[in-house]
């Protein structure tokens, strides 16, 4: 008898890829045999009032090259998760703990798990830090180099 492979799915924007992203994806993969990652498209992010620094195509390429990610799919709307779980025969749906309770309705289709996020790191924190510590303008750097 052949062992049934467990499929895990998770979603995110994954802008400004950092150690927190890496940690949650590695932990998601440890829950099963196959990991599918839904990445929010640029259009969907705009609908969520999120502005990304890195375009979807590049975010998807970065994630697809992680050795523990088996498949990357575009996420274009909230309602898509239900369809994806059925279409990809998903056993476990994973999100960060800051989403706790928001996707419990999916538990009728699969096991829903909320994993802790990595403390002290987030894309929002990185963006905020970058805004506070802006680099000098290139024209000013050129003036100093002469």
* Of 26, 50, 113, 127, catalytic: 50
Q: Which of 94, 121, 106, 99 is nearest to 8 (CA)?
A: 94
Query: Are the C-beta atoms of 7 and 90 separated by less than 8 Å?
Result: yes
* Separation CA 4–CA 73 (nearest Å): 22
Q: How would you list the strands of the sheet with 34-40, edge to edge?
A: 71-75, 34-40, 7-12, 92-96, 111-115
Out of 48, 51, 102, 140, pick the active-site residue.
Answer: 48
- For the question of residue 6 being annotated catalytic, the response is no
* 102 is known as an active-site residue: no
Q: Are the beta carbons of 74 and 65 closer than 8 angstroms?
A: no
Catalytic center residues: 48, 50
């Amino acid at each position: 008898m052949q062992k049934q492979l467990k499929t895990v799915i998770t979603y995110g924007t994954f802008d400004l890829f950092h150690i927190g992203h890496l940690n949650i994806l590695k932990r998601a993969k440890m829950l099963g045999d196959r990991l599918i990652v839904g990445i929010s498209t640029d259009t969907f992010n705009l609908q969520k009032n999120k502005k990304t620094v890195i375009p979807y195509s590049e975010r998807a390429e970065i994630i697809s090259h992680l050795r523990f990610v088996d498949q990357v799919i575009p996420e274009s709307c909230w309602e898509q998760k239900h369809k994806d779980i059925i279409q990809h025969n998903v056993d476990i749906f994973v999100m960060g703990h800051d989403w706790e309770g928001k996707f419990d309705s999916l538990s009728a289709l699969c096991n829903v798990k909320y994993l802790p996020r990595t403390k002290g790191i987030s894309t929002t924190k990185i963006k905020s830090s970058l805004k506070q510590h802006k680099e000098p303008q290139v024209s000013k750097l050129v003036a100093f180099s002469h």
